[in-house]
């Protein structure tokens, strides 16, 4: 039972769709599927922008989103408050961009005013890179406000929405997000291997003069081919089958219901952890709808994960880099329901008690149930 | 029924393996699978070199193979005799390499002596790029001889083996191939989405000073992580499950048997086409073991493909670029047996007769059967 922020649980019908025999990717049959998937991804992104699909992980998609619209020595503002924000800084530096940073501590949200100040001080900034939901800490950043400052400035707004798309509303057009990248093994409910990226007209304008070298990640040919419901290179055909099935499920559920469900899972998980007397790593006002990070005082987070796995076959994520051993992370993203949260919390209570932690038996499950039974 | 050079048919047990629920990619269970897959890929490549797995198509793997070992303005020799050779020239130029060409006409093999002459004239050439089996024309190049000249010169030998690995012997160590790239939807018998790349010590030496920018395709972190049976970014977990199953099947069949089977399928297909009185696009001495290209005189190749698909549900590949409408291509690569070739030839005979072509009914099937029943 996967309760990590990716890969997330995959519905049986999606696994079955993926197990169909591949068809030729240059066929009319495949084009019809590819066209449907592209349209439904635009629906999920709430956008009229181009929506491109890569055979790559989310990191590949995000790299494409950065390098297609910039030239060497361009000034970019990378906003970091966790491992993934830092990764986009590494990408930026690997390509020789003039990389400026606005940083917040891990576990804290980015301060939109600090970003505004950096923009005011840097009229030549070409792009701002923000991780919406920071998977490493369970913090969600105020992308809407940040994007409004970036629009006023004129730079391109590039967002990593790997663990926010499909968990909460990311209205790409309304928020003026120029480049939005994500990966398939998260809110999309399918296995890893596909990356998604939406690109605004403003970004395509920048593409025309962008000089960073690229080929497999060159989005120009993807745009041209996507308009004809095909791809420049061989697509990951069976993952496209899976995506078709998962998006049909998402359309059946509806955007509002999907977001309400994730919000409820987040609130229940946090209420349970609080009731158990364990400190939450991120505060309520910046809590990711996808991941809850817990800092178990007096207990080793890795030991908790180990017992959860061995005794209850529930997989939690650990802390990354400096947080290793200090936090564990509960994913409640994608194909997850109230039942999974109750299960995970019940097992966590038993684990904490087994390891000698202080908690009132039943307190976590009771608190989660209270959220689920709220009118 | 897929008779194209990718995607190729996928065995039922491989599809079933792929449909298993994903597991966490940072788990010991996944590491064990990943380690097995890596080892078996080395066996297939007949190499002790590093073998790295990317979530990308074959093009992504080949691009990684080029850009990791070179710096801007480095002189590279790109050898082209078809669409894929030309693609590596495009990659090379996109990254600002000093790109020299040795060309042969489409349908003809590369001339190793012309490559030797170019090497003699260019002591500063850093790498030579050759497509082993040119998928667009069904021509196989003499990679062994070319590689011997490259080794004598000192440049890096970079090979696209997308439609040769798994179809004929590509002894990476014996032939001194420094960089070898391929994709999963070919001889590997699984759907598209994985790229493979083997890297020699000599190439890693060049990596140390290589300056082309890269991040997702930076092979250094893949090497470091593969040594620990893991990956720098989220792998395409379910395609790894599929690869594990397919490689187990390949080990059961054995390298020699796999190569003998592909050689037999090639000879049977070519004998059948000749007996039907249709011209083969590539001559016998440079015929790919994976694809046979046919130039139907007096008939439209696209019409043949259309009838084959509509009436017999058999998918053949068309010609690419200048060859569109002039040739069709029969893939006999991967999970293909004598039966599929007999089926395709029988349907092709009926199609040619229906379209008013001249052929002796039964001649093709008889010629293929003669190859299959040879002692």
pLDDT score at A221? 98
Interfacial B residues in 112-171 facing A (CB < 8 Å): none
CB of A27 less than 8 A from some CB of B: yes
* Selected residue of B236, B245, B315, B319 to mutate for chain A interface (largest A Cβ count, 10 A): B236
Q: Which residues contact B24 (CB under 8 A, 6 or more apart)?
A: A2, A4, A7, A315, A317, B30
CB of A374 less than 8 A from some CB of B: no
Position B375 confidence tier, pLDDT thresholds 50, 70, 90: confident
pLDDT score at B137? 96
Kindly report the pTM of this predicted structure: 0.97
CB of A217 less than 8 A from some CB of B: yes
Chain-chain contact of B22 with A16 (C-beta, under 8 angstroms): no
Partner-chain residue, chosen from A59, A63, A237, that has the shortest CB–CB distance to B191: A237
| Separation of alpha carbons A198 and B313, rounded Å | 36
Chain-chain contact of B7 with A18 (C-beta, under 8 angstroms): no
Interfacial B residues in 240-269 facing A (CB < 8 Å): none
Quickly tell me which residue has 């992980």 as its tokens.
A57
Chain-chain contact of B212 with A216 (C-beta, under 8 angstroms): no
CB of B95 less than 8 A from some CB of A: yes
SS (H, E, C) B142-177: CHHHHHHHHHHHCCEEEEECCCCECCECCCCCCCCC
Nearest-CA residue of chain B relative to A305? B27
Tokens linked to B205: 């030496």
Chain-chain contact of A234 with B56 (C-beta, under 8 angstroms): no
User: For the segment B129-187, what is each residue's pLDDT rounded down to a tens digit?
Assistant: 999 999 999 999 999 999 999 999 999 999 999 999 999 999 999 999 999 999 999 99
Nearest-CA residue of chain B relative to A27? B315
Interfacial B residues in 31-70 facing A (CB < 8 Å): 55-60, 63
Position B238 confidence tier, pLDDT thresholds 50, 70, 90: very high
Chain-chain contact of A10 with B22 (C-beta, under 8 angstroms): yes
Q: How far is B15 from chain A (nearest CA, A)?
A: 5
Chain-chain contact of B238 with A20 (C-beta, under 8 angstroms): no
Residues of A in contact with B57 (CB under 8 A): 55, 216, 233-236
Residues of A in contact with B90 (CB under 8 A): 215
Size of interface A-B (CB pairs under 8 A): 161
Chain-chain contact of B4 with A21 (C-beta, under 8 angstroms): no
* Selected residue of B7, B90, B317 to mutate for chain A interface (largest A Cβ count, 10 A): B7
| Separation of alpha carbons B349 and B341, rounded Å | 12
Residues A308, A309, A314, A318, CA torsion sign: positive
Partner-chain residue, chosen from A59, A185, A218, that has the shortest CB–CB distance to B216: A59
Partner-chain residue, chosen from A4, A24, A96, that has the shortest CB–CB distance to B4: A24
* Residues of chain A under the 70 pLDDT cut: none
B88-93 own/partner pairs: CB under 8 Å, 24+ apart: B88/B62, B88/B129, B88/B131, B88/B160, B90/A215, B91/A215, B91/B62, B91/B63, B91/B66, B91/B67, B92/B66, B92/B129
Q: How far is B341 from chain A (nearest CA, A)?
A: 18
Tokens linked to B304: 């043949």
Q: How far is B6 from chain A (nearest CA, A)?
A: 8
DSSP for A297-335, please give it. Answer: TTS-HHHHHHHHHHHH--EEEE--GGGTTT-EEEE--SS
Mark A99-124 as b/e (b = at least 16 C-beta within 10 Å).
bbebbbebbbbbbbeebbebbeebee
Interfacial A residues in 299-318 facing B (CB < 8 Å): 315, 317
CB of A23 less than 8 A from some CB of B: yes
Chain-chain contact of B22 with A4 (C-beta, under 8 angstroms): no
How much helix, strand and coil, in percent to the nearest 5, is found in chain B?
45, 15, 40
Chain-chain contact of A192 with B22 (C-beta, under 8 angstroms): yes
Partner-chain residue, chosen from B2, B6, B234, that has the shortest CB–CB distance to A57: B234
DSSP for B71-105, please give it. Answer: -TT-EEEEEESSHHHHHHHHHHHHTT-EEEEEE--
Collapse the DSSP code of B294 into the 3-class scheme (helix H, G, I; strand E, B; otherwise coil) and give the result.
Answer: strand
Q: How far is B52 from chain A (nearest CA, A)?
A: 15
* Selected residue of A191, A230, A320 to mutate for chain B interface (largest B Cβ count, 10 A): A191
Partner-chain residue, chosen from A18, A217, A317, that has the shortest CB–CB distance to B18: A18
User: For the segment B28-38, what is each residue's pLDDT rounded down to a tens digit?
Assistant: 999 999 999 99
For chain B, domains (ranges, CATH) are 11-252 (3.40.640.10), 254-372 (3.90.1150.10)
Partner-chain residue, chosen from A4, A16, A233, that has the shortest CB–CB distance to B24: A4
Chain-chain contact of B23 with A2 (C-beta, under 8 angstroms): yes
């Amino acid at each position: 039972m996967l309760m990590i922020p990716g890969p997330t649980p995959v519905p049986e019908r999606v696994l079955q769709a993926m197990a169909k025999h591949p068809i030729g990717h240059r066929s009319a049959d495949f084009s019809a599927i590819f066209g449907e998937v592209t349209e439904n991804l635009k629906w999920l992104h709430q956008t009229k922008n181009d929506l491109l699909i890569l055979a790559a992980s989310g990191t590949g998609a995000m790299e494409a989103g950065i390098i297609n619209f910039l030239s060497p020595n361009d000034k970019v503002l990378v906003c970091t408050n966790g491992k993934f924000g830092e990764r986009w800084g590494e990408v930026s530096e690997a390509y020789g961009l003039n990389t400026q940073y606005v940083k917040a501590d891990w576990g804290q949200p980015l301060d939109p005013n600090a970003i505004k100040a950096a923009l005011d001080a840097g009229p030549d900034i070409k792009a701002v890179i923000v991780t919406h939901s920071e998977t490493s800490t369970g913090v969600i950043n105020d992308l809407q406000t940040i994007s409004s400052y970036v629009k006023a400035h004129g730079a391109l707004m590039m967002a990593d929405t790997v663990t926010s798309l499909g968990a909460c509303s990311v209205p790409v057009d309304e928020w003026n997000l120029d480049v939005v990248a994500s990966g398939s093994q998260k809110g999309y409910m399918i296995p890893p291997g596909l990356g998604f990226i939406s690109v605004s007209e403003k970004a395509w304008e920048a593409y025309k003069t962008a000089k960073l070298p690229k080929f497999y990640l060159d989005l120009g040919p993807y745009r041209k081919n996507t308009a004809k419901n095909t791809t420049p290179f061989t697509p990951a055909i069976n993952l496209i089958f899976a995506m078709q099935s998962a998006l049909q499920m998402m359309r059946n559920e509806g955007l509002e219901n999907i977001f309400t469900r994730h919000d409820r899972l987040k609130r229940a998980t946090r209420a349970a952890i609080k009731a158990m007397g364990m400190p939450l790593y991120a505060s309520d006002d910046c809590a990711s709808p996808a991941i809850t990070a817990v800092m178990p005082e007096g207990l080793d987070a890795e030991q908790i994960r180990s017992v959860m796995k061995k005794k209850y076959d529930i997989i939690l994520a650990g802390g990354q880099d400096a947080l290793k051993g200090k936090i564990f992370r509960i994913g409640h993203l994608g194909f997850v329901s109230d039942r999974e949260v109750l299960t995970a919390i019940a097992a966590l209570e038993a684990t904490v008690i087994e390891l000698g932690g202080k908690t009132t038996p039943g307190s976590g499950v009771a608190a989660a149930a209270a959220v689920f039974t709220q009118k």
